[in-house]
Amino acid sequence: MNTSLQPSDSKNMAPVLIVGGGLVGLSTSLFLSFHGISSLLVERHPGTAIHPRATGFTPRTMEFFRRLGIEDDIHKVEPPFLQGGNVLLVDSLVGQEFDRLQEDVSSLFNNADSAARGSAIAQDVLEPVLRAHAEQLGGDLRFSTELLAFAQDEEGITATLCERESKHTYTVRAQYMVDASGSKSSVRQQLGIGQHGIGSMGHFISMIFEADLMKVFQERHAIMCFLSNEQIAAGALVPYAGSSFRPNVFRLDVGYEAEEESLADYPEERCLQLIRAAVGIPDLAITLKAKLTWEMNALVADQWKQGRVMLVGDAARTQPPSGGLGANTGIAEAYNLAWKLAAVLRGEAGEALLTTYDAERRPLADYTTEQMALLSQQRQNEGSAGITVDPAVVNGGFRYGAGAFVWEAGEEQLPQALPANQWKGTPGTHGMHLLLERQGKPVSTQDLFGPNFVLLAGPQGELWKEALQELKAEERLPVDSYQVGGEEADLIDVENRFCEAYGITTTGVVLVRPDGFIGWRSKEAAENKQAARQILQQTFSTLLCR
């Protein structure tokens, strides 16, 4: 094979190399472009996903896409969503109901804590939208291209790539590499990074089929059914309305013994029998479209950063599909990492900021994976009895326990997850959505977040804003500032809730990071402008690891 490297050729150089072009890899490309950083993405497959796979994206995830200006484009291609739908435990779709495992899952898609609206879109419909926008923003996306090898040194990454059709092999140079290549990541294996957690929670066969069943789901007010009967010990039946297969395509998951069986043991006739048993209609007309095997795992990589390589998505952690948070979690990881990479590459932050990606996201992955494993076990074994796991809280109400924050006394005793509106501005939590007004038009606090830091001062907090302006004039600080309420208000607090929601007095201030999380706050005013300036200077030094 012919291997070539031409350092003068910009096509062979990039600040960031992204390995993997699925949801998380494409999102990483988008988020880096949002922050003004070029990237090169390689994906071994010829195009985006051909199977629905992940379905359902929470308001928190849609906030990220809202900031990029693509939320509306996603909603334009999403399917209608069954409002008030439940997750049921039944003996079959038309048979006896044993339990309601979750009522009205619309709360996962719409809530008062976010300015964005969730989406029931599936991965095979969402990925083309992300790909188109990533290309429009200048991302270099190379499909049918495989990572063969890589090596890192003090200054960057040298990667060998192969165009799979032509077999042409060439070398690229990047300052950092983001591995979004999935649960079987060869990058993670080459780095020698181990995994911990529960491990395998079972092997499953997914049967994707077409049938006239949507009316039955609607009549039962169900968006998903877990089931158990004489022919199926444990299974799950779900519509794929959000996919390119819509509107009458569904998926049945059934467990199988991987050591004793294979996909070959499930010919079409056996699959049709299982599907009819799951539905409860013996003569149901069915077209089997695809079948595939997968393993449910609960595993977290032992470290998420090694040298100049960072892991995201399933390369970093895999969790059970219960709760529907796998893709949502991976996209959030990419959003956390992107602003930090950008700050380091622009020279605004110290290299140590990248270590906070591991410090923040890995413990959270341990928690999320544990919670989703618990939810999966309870649904399979006990019905809803004793379930305390709320996916909406896990996804939208968590608090980081370490990382690029200025902590307040006593925070180590706080729980890791609460409903988002109960945190009241605590550093390490997501900035609350409040409706404000600017120049006569409504604006959410969340629409102010990103790509810069955002300082929000109370109605009498002008001292903080003035001190920041002086500091910005001397130091390279990527920050916007607003006074909320008061005579010199930049933003009008139409509901008069800002100070209470963010836990400050009228003279206080909060500083929100580019990812929408509160990095620091002062509940009250500083003694004077000079003191305020010194506090802000030290705060930015801490948050940017200078």
pLDDT digits (tens, 9 = 90+) for 71-125: 999 999 987 766 667 888 899 999 999 888 766 666 677 778 889 999 988 898 9
The four Cα atoms 419, 421, 424, 426 give a dihedral, to 10 degrees, of: 40
Under 8 Å between Cβ of 472 and 479: yes
Task: Say what the pLDDT of residue 371 is.
Answer: 87
For residue 173 the two structure tokens come to 């140079």
CA distance 161 to 348: 31
Whole-structure pTM over 0.85, yes or no?
A: yes
Residue 236 is which amino acid?
Answer: A
Strands (DSSP E) along 96-144, which ranges?
Answer: 97-102, 119-122, 140-143
Going by C-alpha positions, the residue among 335, 360, 329 that lies closest to residue 32 is 335
CA distance 196 to 182: 16
Under 8 Å between Cβ of 342 and 450: no
Average pLDDT over residues 339-359: 97
Task: Say what the pLDDT of residue 201 is.
Answer: 84
DSSP 347-388: TSS-GGGGHHHHHHHHHHHHHHHHHHHHHHHHHHHTTTTT--
For residues 409 and 481, the model is more confident at: 481
Task: Say what the pLDDT of residue 483 is.
Answer: 96
Q: How far is CA 410 from CA 407, 424, 426, 532, in A?
A: 9, 15, 11, 23
Residue 2: pLDDT band with limits 50, 70, 90: very low
Min mean pLDDT across 48-52, 101-105, 251-255, 518-522 is at: 101-105
Q: Is 8 a residue whose pLDDT tops 60?
A: no
Q: Is 352 a residue whose pLDDT tops 70?
A: yes
Q: How far is CA 138 from CA 37, 135, 178, 412, in A?
A: 10, 5, 18, 42
Task: Say what the pLDDT of residue 410 is.
Answer: 75
Local structure of residue 513 (DSSP, 8 states): -
Residue 512 is which amino acid?
Answer: V
Min mean pLDDT across 176-185, 277-286, 386-395 is at: 386-395
For residues 534 and 199, the model is more confident at: 534
Average pLDDT over residues 183-203: 94
Residue 243: pLDDT band with limits 50, 70, 90: low
Interval 260-314: pLDDT, tens: 999 999 999 999 999 999 999 999 999 999 899 988 889 999 999 999 999 999 9
Strands (DSSP E) along 393-507, which ranges?
Answer: 435-438, 441-444, 453-457, 479-483
Compute CA 84 distance to the chain's CA centroid, rounded to the nearest angstrom: 24
Task: Say what the pLDDT of residue 476 is.
Answer: 80
Measured in Å, how far apart are the chain's first and last C-alpha atoms?
45
Task: Say what the pLDDT of residue 379 is.
Answer: 65
Average pLDDT over residues 479-494: 93
Task: Say what the pLDDT of residue 37 is.
Answer: 97
Task: Say what the pLDDT of residue 381 is.
Answer: 62
Q: Is 541 a residue whose pLDDT tops 60?
A: yes
For residues 148 and 397, the model is more confident at: 148
Helix-helix angle 462-474:529-543, to 10 degrees: 60
Give the other-Cβ count within 10 Å of 233's Cβ.
Answer: 11
Task: Say what the pLDDT of residue 84 is.
Answer: 65
For residues 2 and 428, the model is more confident at: 428
Share of the chain above pLDDT 90, in %: 67
Average pLDDT over residues 223-244: 82
Q: Is 186 a residue whose pLDDT tops 60?
A: yes
DSSP-based helix, strand, coil % in the chain, nearest 5: 35, 30, 40
Task: Say what the pLDDT of residue 7 is.
Answer: 41
Average pLDDT over residues 156-160: 97
Min mean pLDDT across 191-195, 229-233, 361-365, 434-438 is at: 229-233
Interval 417-427: pLDDT, tens: 888 778 899 99
The contacts of residue 390 (CB under 8 Å, 6+ apart) are none
The residue written with tokens 């994976």 in the block is: 369
Going by C-alpha positions, the residue among 489, 512, 294 that lies closest to residue 423 is 512
Q: Is 503 left (phi over 0), alpha (psi -120 to 50) or beta?
A: left
Give the other-Cβ count within 10 Å of 329's Cβ.
Answer: 26
Local structure of residue 491 (DSSP, 8 states): B
DSSP 67-86: HTT-HHHHHHHPPP--TT-E
Q: Domains for the chain: give ranges and CATH numbers.
A: 3-78+118-195+301-391 (3.50.50.60), 197-297 (3.30.9.10), 411-543 (3.40.30.120)
Residue 340 is which amino acid?
Answer: K
Q: Is 19 a residue whose pLDDT tops 70?
A: yes
Mean residue pLDDT of the chain comes to 90
User: For every residue of 277-329, which 3-state class applies, written as one string?
Assistant: HHHCCCCCCCEEEEEEEEEEEEEEECCCEECCEEECHHHCEECCCCCCCHHHH
Count Cβ atoms within 10 A of the Cβ of residue 24 and give its class: 0-12 exposed, 13-18 middle, 19 or more buried.
buried
Min mean pLDDT across 96-105, 130-139, 334-343 is at: 96-105
At residue 280's C-alpha, the angle toward residues 279 and 282, to 5°, is: 110
